[in-house]
Structure 1
Amino acid sequence: MPPPPTLPNEILEEIFMRLPPDEPAFLVRATLASKHWFGLLTGPAFRSRYRDFHGAPSMLGFFRSWTPYSAWGEEGLEPLFVSTSNFVACIPGKEEDQYDEYGEWGYSIREKEEDWGYSGRDAWDCRHGRVVLGDRDVTDTKLAVLDPVTGRWRELCVPKDYDSHGAAVLCAVPGCHHRTCHEGPFRVIVVGMNINKGDSVAYVYVSLPMTDQWSQPPSQWSQPCPGLHLGFDAIFQPMPPVLTEEALYFTLMYDDDDGDDDKRVGILKYDLHSKCLSLIDVPLMETDIACNAILMGMEDGSLGFAHLDGLTLNLWSRKMGSDGTTTWTHLRVINLEELLPIQNLKQRLGLIGSVEGSDIIFMTMDFGICQISLKSLEWKKIWKEEYFGALLPYMSFNDP
């Protein structure tokens, strides 16, 4: 009996093209079915078409930024990365014998698992296929930039000791579509804050983007722009910065003028073109309690601001008007009591993150961590009930 006829490559590609990108195991299994399928699905032509077909990368999981003592769960230290798909992140330290004493880029590899995401190590930023890891509780801060797909990473020392730090990782390839930029060079931007008796000063350092190597810390870091005097004492909120409109926006916390324990919210902008810092206003001057507000990168490219008032979610967008001035516009009010099955109305909700360039936000509530689409008002639980400072979605393609 003759073997069944094989389908043309064009038909096979159209079939495999429709496998969901947030379930990378489907494509992996297909590559194991035959040598022909393996060659087809691992080729650059199919991978390029697959990414173009699905557009923006999917969320494969999330990293977490801890609040004090929140890294400890019922069974000990909680993991740094949580997968929401079949993706398994490659984090150095889980298998001590898979790395040499020195990584392929010349920096020593930490062999103990607790040095990666445990014992105070948490995520500062996650973008363009990489995540920045650091320790906010020590003065001699070192940052590590990890590619969870390949397990490759670099370590950088913060150029100078500051009282508080913020950091961002960006692809350094001009015109990149940001679907496979973990394969190319990137840069790290560090913002340091010196607290100085009611007038904190912020500084910026930018690493040198070079193919397959990092700038050497600390002597070869580029010089910072002139420090920005804030006029008040502030620290960085443990929330990743938002990238939109060719600028990075960091969330600050500072004490209320009334002298109570509440924390006000401030916004620090770093312009990627002028390479300078500035303060911008928030839409609600009475905004307090830092966990009640987050910045967002909106779908239209504008800067967004989400604020919780009890069980009411308010959405704002910062846009330029016809007169050339930039102002906040109140977009929407959402009643969460009507949307979510909240059981304990007295338990405070918390905003802990968003997906840049989309309408997705993440919240903590009495039944767990929830992902909400602000456009469709669809929601789903993605993790157990737990408290941490920020959720950093890991967006990437993980095809063969």
Structure 2
Amino acid sequence: MPPPPPPLPDELLEEVFFRLPPDEPEHLLRASLVSKVWLALLSDPGFRARYRDFHGAPPMLGFLCSWRHNSVREVGDNIPHFFPTTKFPARIPDDDWGNFRYAAWDCRHGRVLLGDGSCDPHSLVVWDPMTGCRRELDQPGQVGSTYGAAVLCAVAGCDHRACHAGPFQVAYIGIDTIEEDGECFATACLSLPMSADRSKPCSESRLDKWGDPCSLLRVGGYTPSWDERAPVFVEDALYIKLMYDPGDPIAVLKYNLRSNCLSLIDVPFAGSIRLNAAILMAMEDGTLGFAHVDKVTLHLWSRQGDSDGIGSWTRRTVIDLDNHLPIQIPNKRFRLIGSLGGSDIVFVTMGLDIYEINLKTLRWKMLQKREKLRGLIPYMSFYNPQEKLITGDVAH
């Protein structure tokens, strides 16, 4: 019997493993079970770093939903709902979530920020779907009648491809009316960085320290409606779309995290816009994007030169979606419900169908059917099965 062939060098094995798709994490997990040699190679931090470098931006492993206020929710809906688009097993702790109806407010850098679905000023929760760990934090004192928040990595210079277990911060933005003059003002603040503390149970680790709030910014004569989508993060700033009464134009609220300053930005066109017809985007080229649909036509703009407070919108493209989606229904209207950060990908619904559309290649795919969906918040991360998991958790 001839001797077995010599094993492949680690360099060649790595080249093979690099080509396993990051949005199908089960392939790496199965490969790690073949032998101790493969397990040692795939679990090495150096290989994981090179694997992330090879693929670039993290893939979307699933998404979370924000629900319409009038939607009927079943028993057990007080915990977050994660809808996988891969075989990634998001881990939800099985300990007590209380009576709050938690809803997804934001998802970024491998973490999910949850708030109470009724918008009452209760605690916020930062949840890591990779490990199941969650941290609670109290909202700051300046809770407005309309408010939102975002979660961010707190490591300077991080590429945000494997930082979900590191230090993070939460940005909080509130809008309220001052009774004396009837004007509506916005304010914001940033929490102090919180390091991942694995010496305590996740539910016992709290963050209650917030930085100084920024100066008040007048945003109108009456309180605008908060955008249903998560804030967009571009170049150390958060952007939120504000909706006013029908017939009035919309505006963009910018929170510069570096200078702790709020400002208002005009949208690319004058006039009103119907609900769910426009979204903000973090574009692939690092600019702020604005997408708007008029029946079946999508218009896309990007904003240049906002670092010094002066910027301008440029029209990127106009796309007839009727020519690029498979369903032919008369008088149909699309709703924009989200985007994939750092890409030119948007999510649209028509009826109960959710589509992912790449505005650069015009390729599309159907995600699934959901009803009463208000917004889609993608979860982007490289899967790391070697992460330590919390005790007693279960995957839902």
Distance 1:191 1:163 in 2: 11
**1:195 aligned partner:** 177
Give a deviation string over 1:339-379, Cα, whole Å, max 9, x none.
Answer: 11233333431000001111100000136100000001000
Alignment pair present for 1:255 and 2:256: no
Quickly say closer, same or farther: Cα 1:80–1:324, change in 2 above 3 A. Answer: closer
Out of 256, 262, 265, the residue aligned to residue 280 of structure 1 is 265
Q: Is the 8 A contact 1:193 1:235 kept in 2?
A: no
Q: Is the 8 A contact 2:80 2:102 kept in 1?
A: no
Quickly say closer, same or farther: Cα 1:79–1:121, change in 2 above 3 A. Answer: closer
Letter in 1 for 2:174: G
Distance 1:76 1:212 in 2: 28
Query: 3-state DSSP class of the match of 1:182?
Result: coil
Q: Is the 8 A contact 1:123 1:134 kept in 2?
A: yes
Out of 170, 191, 202, the residue aligned to residue 152 of structure 2 is 170
Alignment pair present for 1:395 and 2:358: no
Out of 124, 131, 134, the residue aligned to residue 150 of structure 1 is 131
Higher mean alpha-carbon deviation, 155-164 vs 38-47, is at 155-164
**1:236 aligned partner:** 226
User: Which has the higher relative contact order, 1 or 2, with Cα contacts under 8 A spaced 6 or more apart?
Assistant: 2
Alignment pair present for 1:125 and 2:106: yes
**1:107 aligned partner:** none
Letter in 2 for 1:201: F
Query: 3-state DSSP class of the match of 2:33?
Result: helix
Out of 171, 191, 199, the residue aligned to residue 207 of structure 1 is 191
Q: With the length of structure 2 as denominator, give the TM-score of the two structures.
A: 0.87
- Segments of 5+ residues of structure 1 without an aligned counterpart are 97-109
Give a deviation string over 1:52-106, Cα, whole Å, max 9, x none.
Answer: 1111110101111111133648x9959711000010111112xx5xxxxxxxxxx
Distance 1:92 1:338 in 2: 44
- Segments of 5+ residues of structure 2 without an aligned counterpart are 198-204, 386-396
**2:93 aligned partner:** 92
Q: CA RMSD in A?
A: 2.4
Quickly say closer, same or farther: Cα 1:130–1:64, change in 2 above 3 A. Answer: same
Quickly say closer, same or farther: Cα 1:304–1:80, change in 2 above 3 A. Answer: same
Quickly say closer, same or farther: Cα 1:287–1:356, change in 2 above 3 A. Answer: farther
Letter in 1 for 2:361: S
Q: Is the 8 A contact 1:264 1:287 kept in 2?
A: yes
Q: Is the 8 A contact 2:243 2:251 kept in 1?
A: yes
Give a deviation string over 1:131-161, Cα, whole Å, max 9, x none.
Answer: 1011141422221011110111111111133
Distance 1:395 1:275 in 2: 27
Give the length in aligned residue pairs.
Answer: 371
Letter in 2 for 1:5: P
Quickly say closer, same or farther: Cα 1:122–1:367, change in 2 above 3 A. Answer: closer
Query: 3-state DSSP class of the match of 2:366?
Result: strand
**2:326 aligned partner:** 341
The 5 Å alignment of 1:6-155 reads 6-70=7-71, 72=73, 80-93=81-94, 96=95, 110-111=96-97, 120-155=101-136
Distance 1:362 1:375 in 2: 14
Q: Is the 8 A contact 2:80 2:104 kept in 1?
A: no
Letter in 1 for 2:49: S
**1:303 to partner: Cα distance:** 1.0
